[in-house]
A and B are shown apart, each in its own frame.
Chain A
Amino acid sequence: MVHLHWLDITVLAGYFVAVIGIGLLARRRIKNLEDYYMGGRRFGKGLMIMFAFGAGTHADSAVALTAQTYKLGMAGIWYQWSQLFNTPFYWLLSPIFGRARCLTTADLYELRYGPSLGILYAVWGVVINVGFLGVTLYGSARLVEALTSGAIPSHWTVVGMTLAFLLYSLIGGLIATVWNEFLQGMLTIVMSVLLIPFVWSAVGGVNGIRTTLPHADALFRLVAPGEIGFYWIVVVTINQLLGFVSQPHIMSNNAAGRTELDNRIGFCAGMTLKRLCSIGWALVGVLAIAYYNGNEIHPDHVFGALVRDLLPVGFAGLMIACILASVMDNGAVFVLTTAALFTRNLMRIFKAKENPQLELRVSRIFSIGYVCASIALALSFTSVPSAVRFMWGLNPMIGIAFWLGLWWRKANRYGAWASFIAATTAWVLGVHKFGWTGDAGLPYVITFYSLAGFGVGAVVSLLTKPEPKERLDRFFLTINTPIGQEERLERFESGLKVLEGAAR
Protein backbone atom coordinates (compact mmCIF):
# COMPACT_ATOMS: atom_id res chain seq x y z
CA MET A 1 0.00 0.00 0.00
CA VAL A 2 1.29 3.46 -0.87
CA HIS A 3 0.91 5.91 2.00
CA LEU A 4 1.05 9.44 0.66
CA HIS A 5 3.05 11.71 2.89
CA TRP A 6 1.66 15.24 3.42
CA LEU A 7 4.62 16.49 1.38
CA ASP A 8 3.56 14.29 -1.56
CA ILE A 9 0.03 15.62 -1.33
CA THR A 10 1.37 19.20 -1.27
CA VAL A 11 3.51 18.49 -4.35
CA LEU A 12 0.52 17.01 -6.18
CA ALA A 13 -1.73 19.93 -5.20
CA GLY A 14 1.01 22.37 -6.31
CA TYR A 15 1.27 20.54 -9.61
CA PHE A 16 -2.48 20.85 -10.30
CA VAL A 17 -2.44 24.55 -9.37
CA ALA A 18 0.56 25.11 -11.71
CA VAL A 19 -1.01 23.49 -14.78
CA ILE A 20 -4.33 25.27 -14.34
CA GLY A 21 -2.46 28.54 -13.67
CA ILE A 22 -0.60 28.10 -16.97
CA GLY A 23 -3.99 27.70 -18.67
CA LEU A 24 -5.19 30.97 -17.19
CA LEU A 25 -2.01 32.80 -18.21
CA ALA A 26 -2.19 31.43 -21.76
CA ARG A 27 -5.79 32.60 -22.09
CA ARG A 28 -4.58 36.19 -22.45
CA ARG A 29 -2.72 35.27 -25.63
CA ILE A 30 -5.72 33.78 -27.44
CA LYS A 31 -7.18 36.23 -29.90
CA ASN A 32 -8.52 33.94 -32.65
CA LEU A 33 -9.01 30.29 -33.68
CA GLU A 34 -5.45 30.09 -35.09
CA ASP A 35 -4.13 31.00 -31.62
CA TYR A 36 -6.47 28.49 -29.94
CA TYR A 37 -5.74 25.47 -32.16
CA MET A 38 -2.20 26.25 -33.41
CA GLY A 39 -0.79 28.54 -30.73
CA GLY A 40 -0.36 31.24 -33.40
CA ARG A 41 2.36 29.01 -35.03
CA ARG A 42 5.07 30.71 -32.98
CA PHE A 43 6.71 27.96 -30.88
CA GLY A 44 10.49 27.44 -30.97
CA LYS A 45 12.53 24.20 -31.14
CA GLY A 46 12.60 23.49 -27.39
CA LEU A 47 8.85 23.76 -26.91
CA MET A 48 8.18 21.81 -30.11
CA ILE A 49 10.47 18.95 -28.98
CA MET A 50 8.64 18.66 -25.66
CA PHE A 51 5.28 19.08 -27.41
CA ALA A 52 5.99 16.15 -29.78
CA PHE A 53 7.48 14.10 -26.95
CA GLY A 54 4.59 14.81 -24.58
CA ALA A 55 1.88 14.25 -27.19
CA GLY A 56 3.40 10.90 -28.17
CA THR A 57 4.30 9.65 -24.70
CA HIS A 58 1.94 8.69 -21.92
CA ALA A 59 1.66 6.39 -18.94
CA ASP A 60 0.02 3.61 -20.97
CA SER A 61 3.10 3.56 -23.25
CA ALA A 62 5.21 2.65 -20.20
CA VAL A 63 2.61 0.17 -18.90
CA ALA A 64 2.15 -1.59 -22.27
CA LEU A 65 5.87 -1.80 -22.98
CA THR A 66 6.78 -3.01 -19.50
CA ALA A 67 3.94 -5.58 -19.72
CA GLN A 68 5.23 -6.87 -23.07
CA THR A 69 8.90 -7.06 -22.05
CA TYR A 70 7.84 -8.77 -18.81
CA LYS A 71 5.98 -11.36 -20.94
CA LEU A 72 8.37 -11.73 -23.91
CA GLY A 73 11.73 -10.27 -22.93
CA MET A 74 13.50 -7.39 -24.71
CA ALA A 75 11.67 -8.20 -27.97
CA GLY A 76 8.67 -6.44 -26.40
CA ILE A 77 10.51 -3.15 -27.00
CA TRP A 78 9.11 -3.17 -30.54
CA TYR A 79 5.78 -2.11 -29.03
CA GLN A 80 7.34 1.34 -28.84
CA TRP A 81 10.17 0.95 -31.30
CA SER A 82 8.04 0.05 -34.29
CA GLN A 83 8.52 3.67 -35.32
CA LEU A 84 12.29 3.78 -34.73
CA PHE A 85 13.24 3.40 -38.37
CA ASN A 86 10.33 5.56 -39.49
CA THR A 87 11.71 8.64 -37.74
CA PRO A 88 13.99 9.62 -40.71
CA PHE A 89 10.91 9.56 -42.93
CA TYR A 90 9.13 11.86 -40.47
CA TRP A 91 11.90 14.35 -41.17
CA LEU A 92 10.91 14.28 -44.84
CA LEU A 93 7.16 14.32 -44.21
CA SER A 94 7.00 16.96 -41.48
CA PRO A 95 7.03 20.06 -43.77
CA ILE A 96 3.95 18.82 -45.65
CA PHE A 97 1.77 19.54 -42.61
CA GLY A 98 3.13 23.04 -42.08
CA ARG A 99 3.01 23.89 -45.78
CA ALA A 100 -0.58 22.70 -46.07
CA ARG A 101 -1.43 25.80 -44.00
CA CYS A 102 -4.39 23.98 -42.48
CA LEU A 103 -5.78 23.97 -38.95
CA THR A 104 -6.82 20.30 -38.90
CA THR A 105 -5.78 17.10 -40.67
CA ALA A 106 -9.31 16.98 -42.14
CA ASP A 107 -8.58 20.29 -43.92
CA LEU A 108 -5.61 18.58 -45.58
CA TYR A 109 -7.80 15.72 -46.84
CA GLU A 110 -10.30 18.29 -48.10
CA LEU A 111 -7.54 20.17 -49.90
CA ARG A 112 -6.53 17.01 -51.77
CA TYR A 113 -9.83 15.20 -52.33
CA GLY A 114 -12.64 17.69 -51.75
CA PRO A 115 -15.22 18.22 -48.96
CA SER A 116 -16.53 14.63 -48.70
CA LEU A 117 -13.12 13.31 -47.64
CA GLY A 118 -12.76 16.19 -45.18
CA ILE A 119 -15.99 15.06 -43.54
CA LEU A 120 -15.00 11.36 -43.62
CA TYR A 121 -11.68 12.20 -42.00
CA ALA A 122 -13.31 14.42 -39.38
CA VAL A 123 -15.68 11.62 -38.34
CA TRP A 124 -12.91 9.00 -38.32
CA GLY A 125 -10.54 11.42 -36.60
CA VAL A 126 -12.99 11.82 -33.74
CA VAL A 127 -13.17 7.99 -33.52
CA ILE A 128 -9.34 7.80 -33.50
CA ASN A 129 -9.13 10.38 -30.72
CA VAL A 130 -11.79 8.65 -28.64
CA GLY A 131 -9.60 5.54 -29.00
CA PHE A 132 -6.38 7.41 -28.11
CA LEU A 133 -7.85 8.97 -24.99
CA GLY A 134 -9.61 5.74 -24.01
CA VAL A 135 -6.33 3.78 -24.21
CA THR A 136 -4.44 6.48 -22.32
CA LEU A 137 -7.01 6.70 -19.52
CA TYR A 138 -7.25 2.91 -19.26
CA GLY A 139 -3.46 2.46 -19.11
CA SER A 140 -3.03 5.10 -16.41
CA ALA A 141 -5.97 3.77 -14.37
CA ARG A 142 -4.37 0.31 -14.39
CA LEU A 143 -1.09 1.84 -13.31
CA VAL A 144 -2.53 3.81 -10.42
CA GLU A 145 -4.61 0.78 -9.42
CA ALA A 146 -1.48 -1.37 -9.15
CA LEU A 147 0.57 1.39 -7.60
CA THR A 148 -1.82 2.02 -4.72
CA SER A 149 -3.10 -1.57 -4.35
CA GLY A 150 -6.54 -0.17 -5.04
CA ALA A 151 -6.30 2.53 -2.33
CA ILE A 152 -7.05 5.24 -4.91
CA PRO A 153 -10.07 3.98 -6.93
CA SER A 154 -9.30 4.08 -10.66
CA HIS A 155 -12.50 5.95 -11.53
CA TRP A 156 -11.46 8.81 -9.21
CA THR A 157 -8.07 8.98 -10.92
CA VAL A 158 -9.74 9.14 -14.33
CA VAL A 159 -12.24 11.82 -13.27
CA GLY A 160 -9.59 13.95 -11.50
CA MET A 161 -7.18 13.88 -14.44
CA THR A 162 -9.95 14.53 -16.95
CA LEU A 163 -11.24 17.56 -15.06
CA ALA A 164 -7.75 19.08 -14.82
CA PHE A 165 -6.76 18.69 -18.48
CA LEU A 166 -10.21 19.74 -19.68
CA LEU A 167 -9.94 22.88 -17.60
CA TYR A 168 -6.52 24.04 -18.76
CA SER A 169 -6.93 23.07 -22.42
CA LEU A 170 -10.38 24.65 -22.71
CA ILE A 171 -9.20 27.83 -21.04
CA GLY A 172 -5.80 28.22 -22.64
CA GLY A 173 -6.02 26.26 -25.95
CA LEU A 174 -2.81 25.04 -27.59
CA ILE A 175 -0.66 27.73 -25.98
CA ALA A 176 -1.48 26.39 -22.50
CA THR A 177 -1.09 22.82 -23.71
CA VAL A 178 2.38 23.37 -25.20
CA TRP A 179 3.63 25.26 -22.15
CA ASN A 180 2.36 22.44 -19.96
CA GLU A 181 3.91 19.83 -22.26
CA PHE A 182 7.30 21.24 -21.37
CA LEU A 183 6.76 20.77 -17.64
CA GLN A 184 5.02 17.44 -18.08
CA GLY A 185 7.53 16.11 -20.61
CA MET A 186 10.27 16.64 -18.02
CA LEU A 187 8.22 14.70 -15.47
CA THR A 188 7.67 11.88 -18.00
CA ILE A 189 11.45 11.57 -18.48
CA VAL A 190 11.82 11.33 -14.69
CA MET A 191 9.16 8.59 -14.68
CA SER A 192 11.11 6.66 -17.32
CA VAL A 193 14.41 6.51 -15.47
CA LEU A 194 13.40 6.70 -11.82
CA LEU A 195 12.77 2.97 -11.37
CA ILE A 196 15.89 1.63 -13.07
CA PRO A 197 18.46 2.12 -10.25
CA PHE A 198 16.06 0.67 -7.65
CA VAL A 199 15.22 -2.48 -9.70
CA TRP A 200 18.84 -2.83 -10.78
CA SER A 201 20.03 -2.85 -7.20
CA ALA A 202 17.18 -5.15 -6.05
CA VAL A 203 18.03 -7.87 -8.62
CA GLY A 204 21.79 -7.58 -8.10
CA GLY A 205 22.77 -6.12 -11.49
CA VAL A 206 24.03 -8.21 -14.41
CA ASN A 207 25.36 -11.04 -12.22
CA GLY A 208 22.10 -11.20 -10.24
CA ILE A 209 20.08 -11.53 -13.44
CA ARG A 210 22.30 -14.29 -14.81
CA THR A 211 21.96 -16.20 -11.54
CA THR A 212 18.19 -15.69 -11.17
CA LEU A 213 17.26 -16.24 -14.79
CA PRO A 214 18.79 -19.32 -16.38
CA HIS A 215 17.09 -18.42 -19.68
CA ALA A 216 18.56 -14.90 -19.86
CA ASP A 217 19.87 -15.66 -23.37
CA ALA A 218 16.34 -15.96 -24.76
CA LEU A 219 15.03 -12.96 -22.82
CA PHE A 220 17.71 -10.59 -24.07
CA ARG A 221 17.05 -10.97 -27.78
CA LEU A 222 15.23 -8.50 -30.00
CA VAL A 223 12.98 -11.16 -31.51
CA ALA A 224 10.60 -13.55 -29.75
CA PRO A 225 9.90 -16.57 -31.99
CA GLY A 226 6.17 -17.14 -32.56
CA GLU A 227 5.26 -13.70 -31.15
CA ILE A 228 7.50 -10.85 -32.33
CA GLY A 229 9.62 -12.01 -35.26
CA PHE A 230 11.27 -10.24 -38.20
CA TYR A 231 8.04 -10.24 -40.24
CA TRP A 232 6.11 -8.76 -37.28
CA ILE A 233 8.66 -5.96 -36.90
CA VAL A 234 8.71 -5.06 -40.62
CA VAL A 235 4.93 -5.14 -41.02
CA VAL A 236 4.20 -3.17 -37.83
CA THR A 237 6.85 -0.59 -38.84
CA ILE A 238 5.13 -0.08 -42.21
CA ASN A 239 1.75 0.05 -40.46
CA GLN A 240 2.97 2.85 -38.21
CA LEU A 241 4.17 4.81 -41.22
CA LEU A 242 0.74 4.38 -42.84
CA GLY A 243 -1.04 5.50 -39.69
CA PHE A 244 1.26 8.27 -38.48
CA VAL A 245 0.16 10.70 -41.18
CA SER A 246 -3.49 10.41 -40.25
CA GLN A 247 -3.32 11.07 -36.52
CA PRO A 248 -5.49 14.10 -35.75
CA HIS A 249 -2.84 15.77 -33.59
CA ILE A 250 -0.14 15.35 -36.26
CA MET A 251 -1.12 18.70 -37.77
CA SER A 252 -0.41 20.75 -34.63
CA ASN A 253 2.68 18.62 -33.84
CA ASN A 254 4.21 19.54 -37.21
CA ALA A 255 2.77 22.96 -37.92
CA ALA A 256 2.74 24.94 -34.67
CA GLY A 257 6.44 25.88 -34.86
CA ARG A 258 7.87 29.21 -36.04
CA THR A 259 9.73 27.69 -39.00
CA GLU A 260 9.89 24.42 -40.92
CA LEU A 261 13.17 23.60 -39.23
CA ASP A 262 11.58 24.14 -35.79
CA ASN A 263 8.78 21.74 -36.74
CA ARG A 264 11.16 19.16 -38.17
CA ILE A 265 13.62 19.21 -35.29
CA GLY A 266 10.80 19.39 -32.74
CA PHE A 267 8.96 16.38 -34.09
CA CYS A 268 11.95 14.12 -34.84
CA ALA A 269 13.82 14.95 -31.63
CA GLY A 270 10.62 14.50 -29.60
CA MET A 271 10.06 11.08 -31.16
CA THR A 272 13.71 10.10 -30.59
CA LEU A 273 13.44 11.15 -26.95
CA LYS A 274 10.46 8.81 -26.65
CA ARG A 275 12.52 5.90 -28.08
CA LEU A 276 15.20 6.68 -25.51
CA CYS A 277 12.67 6.52 -22.67
CA SER A 278 11.35 3.25 -24.15
CA ILE A 279 14.74 1.64 -23.45
CA GLY A 280 14.22 2.43 -19.75
CA TRP A 281 10.69 0.96 -19.70
CA ALA A 282 11.80 -2.17 -21.57
CA LEU A 283 14.71 -2.72 -19.22
CA VAL A 284 12.42 -2.33 -16.20
CA GLY A 285 10.07 -5.01 -17.62
CA VAL A 286 12.87 -7.54 -18.11
CA LEU A 287 14.45 -6.79 -14.73
CA ALA A 288 10.99 -7.36 -13.19
CA ILE A 289 11.11 -10.97 -14.43
CA ALA A 290 14.09 -11.49 -12.16
CA TYR A 291 12.59 -9.45 -9.31
CA TYR A 292 9.23 -11.26 -9.28
CA ASN A 293 10.83 -14.60 -10.17
CA GLY A 294 8.22 -17.30 -9.43
CA ASN A 295 5.51 -14.86 -8.24
CA GLU A 296 2.31 -14.52 -10.29
CA ILE A 297 1.73 -10.92 -11.34
CA HIS A 298 -0.47 -9.53 -14.09
CA PRO A 299 1.77 -7.96 -16.80
CA ASP A 300 -0.32 -4.75 -16.81
CA HIS A 301 0.44 -4.35 -13.10
CA VAL A 302 4.22 -4.81 -13.33
CA PHE A 303 5.17 -1.14 -13.68
CA GLY A 304 2.84 0.02 -10.89
CA ALA A 305 3.79 -2.90 -8.64
CA LEU A 306 7.50 -2.08 -8.96
CA VAL A 307 6.82 1.53 -8.00
CA ARG A 308 4.79 0.34 -5.02
CA ASP A 309 7.33 -2.24 -3.90
CA LEU A 310 10.63 -0.46 -4.54
CA LEU A 311 10.33 3.31 -4.41
CA PRO A 312 10.52 5.17 -1.07
CA VAL A 313 7.35 7.00 -0.04
CA GLY A 314 8.43 10.44 -1.32
CA PHE A 315 9.43 9.04 -4.73
CA ALA A 316 6.12 7.23 -5.07
CA GLY A 317 4.31 10.56 -4.77
CA LEU A 318 6.59 12.02 -7.44
CA MET A 319 5.83 9.05 -9.68
CA ILE A 320 2.09 9.67 -9.30
CA ALA A 321 2.65 13.29 -10.40
CA CYS A 322 4.65 12.01 -13.41
CA ILE A 323 1.87 9.60 -14.38
CA LEU A 324 -0.80 12.28 -14.06
CA ALA A 325 1.39 14.64 -16.09
CA SER A 326 1.91 12.17 -18.93
CA VAL A 327 -1.81 11.46 -19.21
CA MET A 328 -3.00 15.01 -18.83
CA ASP A 329 -0.76 16.53 -21.50
CA ASN A 330 -2.06 13.94 -23.96
CA GLY A 331 -5.63 14.45 -22.88
CA ALA A 332 -5.31 18.18 -23.52
CA VAL A 333 -3.91 17.64 -27.05
CA PHE A 334 -6.65 15.13 -27.87
CA VAL A 335 -9.36 17.46 -26.56
CA LEU A 336 -8.12 20.34 -28.70
CA THR A 337 -7.67 18.35 -31.92
CA THR A 338 -11.05 16.63 -31.55
CA ALA A 339 -12.80 19.93 -30.87
CA ALA A 340 -11.08 21.41 -33.93
CA LEU A 341 -12.29 18.53 -36.12
CA PHE A 342 -15.84 18.94 -34.87
CA THR A 343 -16.12 22.70 -35.17
CA ARG A 344 -13.96 23.23 -38.26
CA ASN A 345 -15.00 20.27 -40.36
CA LEU A 346 -18.30 18.85 -39.08
CA MET A 347 -20.21 21.80 -37.66
CA ARG A 348 -19.85 23.70 -40.92
CA ILE A 349 -21.94 21.10 -42.74
CA PHE A 350 -24.95 22.50 -40.89
CA LYS A 351 -23.85 26.09 -40.64
CA ALA A 352 -22.51 27.75 -43.77
CA LYS A 353 -21.68 31.15 -42.26
CA GLU A 354 -18.48 31.39 -40.19
CA ASN A 355 -18.86 32.44 -36.57
CA PRO A 356 -15.58 32.03 -34.65
CA GLN A 357 -17.10 32.95 -31.27
CA LEU A 358 -19.85 30.36 -31.64
CA GLU A 359 -17.30 27.77 -32.84
CA LEU A 360 -15.15 28.36 -29.78
CA ARG A 361 -18.16 27.96 -27.46
CA VAL A 362 -19.41 24.82 -29.23
CA SER A 363 -15.91 23.30 -29.25
CA ARG A 364 -15.73 23.67 -25.49
CA ILE A 365 -19.12 21.98 -25.00
CA PHE A 366 -18.26 19.22 -27.50
CA SER A 367 -15.03 18.47 -25.63
CA ILE A 368 -17.01 17.40 -22.59
CA GLY A 369 -19.02 14.91 -24.66
CA TYR A 370 -15.79 13.66 -26.21
CA VAL A 371 -14.10 12.86 -22.90
CA CYS A 372 -17.27 11.05 -21.69
CA ALA A 373 -17.14 8.78 -24.78
CA SER A 374 -13.43 8.12 -24.16
CA ILE A 375 -14.04 7.19 -20.53
CA ALA A 376 -16.76 4.74 -21.66
CA LEU A 377 -14.31 3.14 -24.14
CA ALA A 378 -11.59 2.96 -21.48
CA LEU A 379 -13.89 0.85 -19.31
CA SER A 380 -14.39 -1.68 -22.14
CA PHE A 381 -10.71 -2.66 -22.58
CA THR A 382 -9.35 -5.84 -21.01
CA SER A 383 -5.56 -5.41 -21.27
CA VAL A 384 -3.21 -2.55 -22.16
CA PRO A 385 -1.32 -4.29 -25.02
CA SER A 386 -4.63 -5.35 -26.63
CA ALA A 387 -5.84 -1.73 -26.36
CA VAL A 388 -2.62 -0.57 -28.08
CA ARG A 389 -3.08 -3.13 -30.88
CA PHE A 390 -6.64 -1.85 -31.36
CA MET A 391 -5.28 1.68 -31.84
CA TRP A 392 -2.70 0.48 -34.37
CA GLY A 393 -5.57 -0.61 -36.60
CA LEU A 394 -7.60 2.61 -36.44
CA ASN A 395 -5.11 5.06 -38.02
CA PRO A 396 -4.09 3.29 -41.24
CA MET A 397 -7.72 2.88 -42.40
CA ILE A 398 -7.78 6.56 -43.42
CA GLY A 399 -3.97 6.92 -43.71
CA ILE A 400 -3.88 4.78 -46.87
CA ALA A 401 -5.89 7.45 -48.73
CA PHE A 402 -3.30 10.05 -47.68
CA TRP A 403 -0.45 7.99 -49.10
CA LEU A 404 -2.35 7.25 -52.33
CA GLY A 405 -2.85 10.95 -52.94
CA LEU A 406 0.48 12.29 -51.71
CA TRP A 407 2.48 11.60 -54.87
CA TRP A 408 -0.01 10.11 -57.33
CA ARG A 409 -2.22 12.54 -59.26
CA LYS A 410 -4.57 9.79 -60.41
CA ALA A 411 -5.78 9.10 -56.86
CA ASN A 412 -9.25 10.57 -56.48
CA ARG A 413 -12.06 10.86 -53.94
CA TYR A 414 -13.77 7.65 -55.16
CA GLY A 415 -10.54 5.72 -54.73
CA ALA A 416 -9.99 7.27 -51.30
CA TRP A 417 -13.48 6.27 -50.12
CA ALA A 418 -13.05 2.79 -51.62
CA SER A 419 -9.66 2.31 -49.92
CA PHE A 420 -11.16 3.30 -46.55
CA ILE A 421 -14.12 0.93 -46.94
CA ALA A 422 -11.95 -1.94 -48.24
CA ALA A 423 -9.32 -1.58 -45.52
CA THR A 424 -11.91 -1.34 -42.73
CA THR A 425 -13.79 -4.37 -44.07
CA ALA A 426 -10.54 -6.35 -44.34
CA TRP A 427 -9.61 -5.36 -40.76
CA VAL A 428 -12.95 -6.54 -39.38
CA LEU A 429 -12.81 -9.76 -41.44
CA GLY A 430 -9.22 -10.45 -40.41
CA VAL A 431 -9.94 -10.13 -36.71
CA HIS A 432 -13.44 -11.64 -36.49
CA LYS A 433 -13.60 -14.08 -39.43
CA PHE A 434 -10.03 -15.33 -39.74
CA GLY A 435 -9.18 -14.96 -36.04
CA TRP A 436 -5.93 -13.01 -36.56
CA THR A 437 -5.67 -11.65 -33.05
CA GLY A 438 -2.90 -11.04 -30.51
CA ASP A 439 0.74 -10.57 -31.44
CA ALA A 440 0.76 -13.74 -33.55
CA GLY A 441 -2.11 -12.59 -35.78
CA LEU A 442 -1.18 -8.90 -35.97
CA PRO A 443 1.15 -8.99 -39.03
CA TYR A 444 -1.39 -10.99 -41.04
CA VAL A 445 -4.28 -8.63 -40.37
CA ILE A 446 -2.08 -5.59 -41.15
CA THR A 447 -0.89 -7.14 -44.44
CA PHE A 448 -4.48 -8.01 -45.36
CA TYR A 449 -6.01 -4.56 -44.77
CA SER A 450 -3.03 -2.70 -46.29
CA LEU A 451 -3.16 -4.70 -49.53
CA ALA A 452 -6.96 -4.36 -49.65
CA GLY A 453 -6.82 -0.59 -49.02
CA PHE A 454 -4.08 0.19 -51.55
CA GLY A 455 -5.31 -2.30 -54.16
CA VAL A 456 -8.96 -1.27 -54.17
CA GLY A 457 -8.09 2.43 -53.84
CA ALA A 458 -5.76 2.31 -56.86
CA VAL A 459 -8.14 0.31 -59.09
CA VAL A 460 -11.16 2.52 -58.28
CA SER A 461 -9.08 5.67 -58.91
CA LEU A 462 -8.05 4.36 -62.33
CA LEU A 463 -11.62 3.50 -63.29
CA THR A 464 -13.31 6.73 -62.21
CA LYS A 465 -13.20 10.44 -63.06
CA PRO A 466 -9.97 12.15 -61.93
CA GLU A 467 -9.96 15.12 -59.55
CA PRO A 468 -10.19 18.54 -61.28
CA LYS A 469 -6.78 19.73 -62.47
CA GLU A 470 -7.09 23.00 -60.52
CA ARG A 471 -7.60 21.12 -57.25
CA LEU A 472 -4.58 18.89 -57.90
CA ASP A 473 -2.38 21.81 -58.94
CA ARG A 474 -3.43 23.80 -55.87
CA PHE A 475 -2.74 20.86 -53.54
CA PHE A 476 0.68 19.92 -54.92
CA LEU A 477 1.80 23.52 -55.23
CA THR A 478 0.68 24.24 -51.65
CA ILE A 479 2.52 21.29 -50.07
CA ASN A 480 5.62 22.06 -52.14
CA THR A 481 5.71 25.77 -51.29
CA PRO A 482 7.82 26.50 -48.21
CA ILE A 483 6.46 28.74 -45.46
CA GLY A 484 7.35 32.34 -46.25
CA GLN A 485 6.97 31.94 -50.03
CA GLU A 486 3.21 32.54 -50.07
CA GLU A 487 3.49 35.01 -52.92
CA ARG A 488 3.96 31.97 -55.18
CA LEU A 489 0.55 30.66 -54.11
CA GLU A 490 -0.98 34.10 -54.62
CA ARG A 491 0.48 34.30 -58.12
CA PHE A 492 -0.92 30.83 -58.83
CA GLU A 493 -4.41 31.78 -57.61
CA SER A 494 -4.44 35.04 -59.55
CA GLY A 495 -3.28 33.12 -62.63
CA LEU A 496 -6.22 30.76 -62.25
CA LYS A 497 -8.58 33.72 -62.06
CA VAL A 498 -7.12 35.12 -65.30
CA LEU A 499 -7.68 31.74 -66.96
CA GLU A 500 -11.26 31.57 -65.69
CA GLY A 501 -11.91 35.08 -66.98
CA ALA A 502 -10.48 34.19 -70.40
CA ALA A 503 -12.60 31.04 -70.57
CA ARG A 504 -15.77 33.06 -69.96
Chain B
Amino acid sequence: MKQRFDSQDWYPRLVNCRNWEIPVPGPQAVIGFFVVLGVSLMLYFFVLWLCSLFRS
Protein backbone atom coordinates (compact mmCIF):
# COMPACT_ATOMS: atom_id res chain seq x y z
CA MET B 1 0.00 0.00 0.00
CA LYS B 2 2.75 2.46 0.99
CA GLN B 3 4.62 1.91 -2.29
CA ARG B 4 1.66 3.38 -4.15
CA PHE B 5 2.17 6.78 -2.58
CA ASP B 6 5.91 7.01 -3.14
CA SER B 7 6.56 10.02 -5.43
CA GLN B 8 9.36 8.13 -7.19
CA ASP B 9 6.84 5.76 -8.73
CA TRP B 10 4.91 8.56 -10.44
CA TYR B 11 7.44 9.69 -13.06
CA PRO B 12 10.48 8.14 -14.78
CA ARG B 13 13.85 9.10 -13.33
CA LEU B 14 17.21 9.34 -15.07
CA VAL B 15 19.29 7.90 -12.22
CA ASN B 16 18.25 4.71 -10.48
CA CYS B 17 19.16 5.79 -6.98
CA ARG B 18 16.72 6.65 -4.17
CA ASN B 19 18.53 9.85 -3.22
CA TRP B 20 18.60 11.37 -6.69
CA GLU B 21 15.52 12.83 -8.33
CA ILE B 22 16.62 13.71 -11.86
CA PRO B 23 13.58 13.22 -14.11
CA VAL B 24 13.84 11.87 -17.66
CA PRO B 25 13.37 14.90 -19.96
CA GLY B 26 10.43 14.71 -22.36
CA PRO B 27 10.65 15.27 -26.15
CA GLN B 28 9.66 18.96 -25.81
CA ALA B 29 12.50 19.51 -23.31
CA VAL B 30 15.13 17.75 -25.46
CA ILE B 31 14.16 19.34 -28.79
CA GLY B 32 13.78 22.79 -27.24
CA PHE B 33 17.13 22.50 -25.46
CA PHE B 34 18.97 21.90 -28.73
CA VAL B 35 17.01 24.59 -30.59
CA VAL B 36 17.88 27.18 -27.94
CA LEU B 37 21.48 25.96 -27.86
CA GLY B 38 21.63 26.34 -31.65
CA VAL B 39 20.30 29.91 -31.48
CA SER B 40 22.82 30.80 -28.74
CA LEU B 41 25.67 29.37 -30.81
CA MET B 42 24.47 31.32 -33.86
CA LEU B 43 24.62 34.57 -31.86
CA TYR B 44 28.07 33.69 -30.57
CA PHE B 45 29.46 32.94 -34.03
CA PHE B 46 27.80 36.06 -35.42
CA VAL B 47 29.74 38.20 -32.94
CA LEU B 48 32.95 36.28 -33.70
CA TRP B 49 32.40 37.06 -37.39
CA LEU B 50 31.72 40.71 -36.56
CA CYS B 51 34.99 40.92 -34.63
CA SER B 52 36.93 39.30 -37.46
CA LEU B 53 35.46 41.87 -39.86
CA PHE B 54 37.02 44.70 -37.87
CA ARG B 55 40.31 42.89 -37.27
CA SER B 56 41.22 41.78 -40.77
The answer to whether B54 and A492 have CB atoms under 8 Å apart is no
- Count residues of A near B (Cβ-Cβ below 8 Å): 48
The answer to whether B23 and A87 have CB atoms under 8 Å apart is no
> Binding site of A, secondary structure by majority: helix, strand, loop or mixed?
helix
From B6, B22, B52, A473 is in contact (CB under 8 Å) with B6
The answer to whether A492 and B5 have CB atoms under 8 Å apart is yes
Q: In the bound complex, what is the Cα–Cα distance between A221 and B39 (angstroms)? A: 21
Question: Is A222 an interface residue when CB atoms closer than 8 A count as contact?
Answer: yes
From B6, B10, B29, B48, A91 is in contact (CB under 8 Å) with B29
Question: Is A358 an interface residue when CB atoms closer than 8 A count as contact?
Answer: no
Question: Is A283 an interface residue when CB atoms closer than 8 A count as contact?
Answer: yes
Question: Is A92 an interface residue when CB atoms closer than 8 A count as contact?
Answer: yes
Contacts of B18 in A (CB 8 A): 409
Given contacts A77-B47, A216-B55, A220-B54, contact A88 B25 (CB under 8 A): no
Question: Is A391 an interface residue when CB atoms closer than 8 A count as contact?
Answer: no
The number of chain B residues touching the other chain, given as a range, is 35 or more
Question: Is A268 an interface residue when CB atoms closer than 8 A count as contact?
Answer: yes
A384 to chain B, nearest CB (A): 22
Given contacts A279-B46, A407-B21, A492-B5, contact A222 B51 (CB under 8 A): yes
Interface centre among A264, A410, A477, A481 (most CB of B within 10 A): A477
The answer to whether B5 and A499 have CB atoms under 8 Å apart is yes
The answer to whether A476 and B7 have CB atoms under 8 Å apart is yes
Contacts of A498 in B (CB 8 A): 1
Q: Which residues of B contact A (CB under 8 A)?
A: 1-2, 4-8, 10-11, 18-23, 25, 28-29, 32-34, 36-37, 39-40, 43-44, 46-48, 50-55
Q: Enumerate the 10 nearest inter-chain pairs by beta-carbon distance, A residue then B residue, closest first.
A: A473-B7, A495-B5, A477-B7, A220-B51, A88-B37, A220-B54, A88-B36, A480-B11, A91-B32, A409-B19
